[in-house]
Amino acid sequence: MRKFLIAAAVIVIAVLASIAATVGGALGPLFNGVRSLAEFYLLNVFNPHNQTLTAMSPEAVTSIVWDYRGLDTLFETVVFYMAIIGCVSLHRGIELIRKRSEAGLSRIVKTVTKILIPLNIVIAASIALHGHLTPGGGFQAGAAMAVAPIIVIVVFSRFFLLRKGVTKEVALSLRSMGLLGIALVALIPLIAWVTTGSAAYVMQNQVKADSSFSFPAYIGGSLVSGSLIWYNIFEFLAVTFGFTIVFLLLSVDEETVRKVLGGEEHE
Amino acid sequence: MVDLTMVLLAVFAGIALFFAYLAISERNLVRALIYSAVQSSAFAFIFYLLRAPDIVLVYVPISVGIYPAAILFLIRKTKEVEEP
């Protein structure tokens, strides 16, 4: 009874607080027009008439994430990278053996999964490749794509994924390729600076006031928004295979992990 | 002032609060995880109502797929029922 009273009190306080914050106006008016910062981005994210401030992408969020605030996202990617490295080094010495195994859920579930996995891949690829045009982007697409290996591990077992060639080594190298791609796209302006001698900035996308370097905004007539599409594709690779490694390692049963990590005294 | 968005926001926030309480008070970890996933799904709707489709796109696979799967794998490595 006492527990129930506490819960009821918490709910009443939360409801009153949210009414005060929204309808009562305790936090100031919500949904009240466009703020000046938002106005700047809405005006400039796709503005061919103002080449020095535009990101040439109609998607404001991706423009901010990978162009205006690109370094923040770079460091976020590094944090994610370190987390995966931590997981991999915790599971060091564990070999993911490939063996023939018919483990997994029933035939009905397997058939449904076989139909759904290609759809998942198509949706994830479309989120990544349209990340500079519609809501979405590299991390969103990577998270959507990472669901596919998880479902395969749960429905078909880890050995099926390993037999299909998605091993820890393959996933690690594809993820490293994604990260190297991000670093390369960030450093291409530097290469342009060395070769042509005109000023350029790290993670630069379009021309700036004192720099003539620019990624091509259009390729073959279609809008690619300069560096944004490349960042999205490489982030997609890095996130997808980062999650895949974690789930491959997490699916190893605890006895094996303890045996390898415990060392001699536990054997 | 009180429009449909506000009402829906309140409804989904209420659902999230209720399931958060259930997730905390539940001793069976698998059930607690399912309550927590329902709470995350309610948050995804809230993000959609707040017009943040970018966050929704990352929140749906994380809250419905990756987060429950990761915790389920971890629960399998420990005990299913929390001891008092």
| For residues B35-59, average pLDDT | 90
Average pLDDT for runs of 10 along chain A of length 267: 85 83 70 80 87 85 89 90 91 78 83 93 92 88 92 88 87 92 90 84 83 83 86 93 91 82 62
* Segment 2-61 of chain B within 8 Å of chain A by CB: 2, 6, 9-10, 13-14, 17-18, 21, 25, 53-54, 56-58, 60-61
Residue A254's pLDDT is 81
Cβ neighbourhood burial of A3 (10 Å; 0-12, 13-18, 19+): exposed
Q: Find, among A56, A70, A65, A60, the residue nearest to A39 by Cα.
A: A60
Residue A108's pLDDT is 92
Task: For chain B, give the mean pLDDT.
Answer: 87
Measured in angstroms, the CA of A188 and the nearest CA of chain B are apart by 27
- Asked if A74 and A203 touch (Cβ cutoff 8 Å), the reply is yes
CA nearest to A123 within chain B: B57
Residue A52's pLDDT is 83
Best probe of the B interface among A22, A57, A255, by most B CBs < 10 A, is: A22
Check if A3 contacts B (Cβ < 8 Å): yes
Sequence ranges of the domains in chain A: 1-32, 66-266
Check if A240 contacts B (Cβ < 8 Å): no
**How far is residue A206's CA from residue A246's CA, in Å, rounded to a whole number?**
36
CA angle at B83 for the pair B81 and B84, rounded to the nearest 5°:
135
**How far is residue A129's CA from residue A138's CA, in Å, rounded to a whole number?**
8
Residue B65 is given by DSSP the state: I
| For residues B20-36, average pLDDT | 91
Q: Is the ipTM of this complex over 0.95?
A: no
Task: Quote the distance between the C-alpha of residue A128 and its chain's center.
Answer: 9
Residue B34's pLDDT is 92
Residue B66 is given by DSSP the state: I
